[in-house]
């Protein structure tokens, strides 16, 4: 089992009961070698309220030596989207989140040509970077053919399949399908709902998730601000 690293969280209060939850993205910060923060939740009653909120986050991010701030939000949150654009955030991509409920299984699935194991050794701990609570690997023809990482979120009580991959030579042979089918009972012992997210353009992944029982929950856009540039552009 791998350790789940809790994100450090702290709120910033704006005017008019507006507030925001800003956290460090440890995985991305360490992967890219720069300090990256994420606005995990934001609430304001108007576009002006959101603007003040995001400006205060950027100022705080600069004081705390963050170089980038990320925010993912639903596209229908127009006031928030306008405020992000107005405070120097740029849209990076569109992501779709799928969800499904899980229930404990009587027996774990088995297949004659594919063995799915929960990896526990240090190599996988390094790959998953202490981020995953479990890491399932599918072995086909005596070789690792694909993997799935499982994350549990304390703040929502939901599980998340964070990474899914099948080596190109094994694709189209239901490797990912079956590793997910093996991961779902693991989740069922720990949570009721599992989500998985991918870029809206990743049709293979979206088809895969629907095939294993997930349905579309929401469509969001990811915004990114370069802290120094965004603050320089502030009126």
Ligand X SMILES: CC(C)(COP(=O)(O)OP(=O)(O)OC[C@H]1O[C@@H](n2cnc3c(N)ncnc32)[C@H](O)[C@@H]1OP(=O)(O)O)[C@@H](O)C(=O)NCCC(=O)NCCS
Q: Which residues bind ligand X (CB under 6 A)?
A: 146, 163-166, 171-177, 198, 202-205, 207-208, 211
62/171 with CB nearer ligand X? 171
For the CA atoms of 177, 178, 183, 184, the dihedral, rounded to the nearest 10 degrees, stands at 70
Residue 35, number of CB atoms within 10 A of its CB: 18
Report d(CA 158, CA 165) in Å as an integer: 21
User: Closest separation between CB of residue 220 and ligand X, Å?
Assistant: 15
18/205 with CB nearer ligand X? 205
Whether 106 contacts 197, CB under 8 Å: no
Dihedral of CA 107/111/112/113: which sign?
A: negative
User: Closest separation between CB of residue 151 and ligand X, Å?
Assistant: 13
User: Closest separation between CB of residue 214 and ligand X, Å?
Assistant: 11
User: Closest separation between CB of residue 53 and ligand X, Å?
Assistant: 30
What b/e readout covers 165-197, taking b as 16+ CB neighbours within 10 angstroms? ebeeebeebbbbbbbbbbbbbbbbeebeebbbb
User: Closest separation between CB of residue 195 and ligand X, Å?
Assistant: 12
57/164 with CB nearer ligand X? 164
User: Closest separation between CB of residue 110 and ligand X, Å?
Assistant: 16
165/185 with CB nearer ligand X? 165
DSSP string across 107-142? S----SS-EEEE--SHHHHHHHTT--SEEEEEEETT
131/174 with CB nearer ligand X? 174
89/124 with CB nearer ligand X? 124
């Amino acid at each position: 089992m791998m350790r789940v690293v809790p994100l450090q969280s702290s709120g910033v209060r704006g005017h008019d009961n507006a507030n925001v939850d800003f956290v460090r993205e440890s995985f991305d910060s360490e992967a890219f070698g720069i300090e990256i923060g994420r606005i995990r939740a934001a609430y304001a009653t108007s576009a002006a309220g959101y603007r003040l909120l995001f400006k205060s986050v950027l100022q705080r991010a600069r004081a705390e030596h963050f170089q980038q701030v990320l925010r993912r939000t639903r596209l229908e949150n127009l006031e928030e989207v306008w405020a992000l654009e107005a405070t120097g955030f740029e849209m990076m991509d569109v992501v779709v989140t799928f969800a499904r409920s899980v229930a404990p299984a009587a027996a774990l699935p088995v297949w004659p040509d594919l063995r799915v194991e929960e990896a526990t050794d240090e190599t996988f701990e390094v790959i998953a970077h202490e981020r995953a609570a479990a890491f399932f690997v599918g072995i086909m023809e005596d070789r690792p053919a694909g993997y799935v990482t499982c994350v549990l979120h304390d703040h929502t009580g939901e599980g998340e399949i964070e990474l899914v991959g099948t080596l190109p030579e094994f694709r189209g042979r239901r490797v990912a399908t079956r590793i997910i089918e093996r991961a779902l009972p693991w989740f069922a012992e720990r949570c009721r709902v599992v989500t998985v997210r991918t870029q809206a353009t990743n049709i293979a992944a979206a088809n895969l998730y629907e095939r294993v029982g997930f349905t579309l929950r929401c469509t969001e856009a990811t915004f990114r601000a370069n802290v120094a540039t965004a603050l320089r552009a502030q009126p």
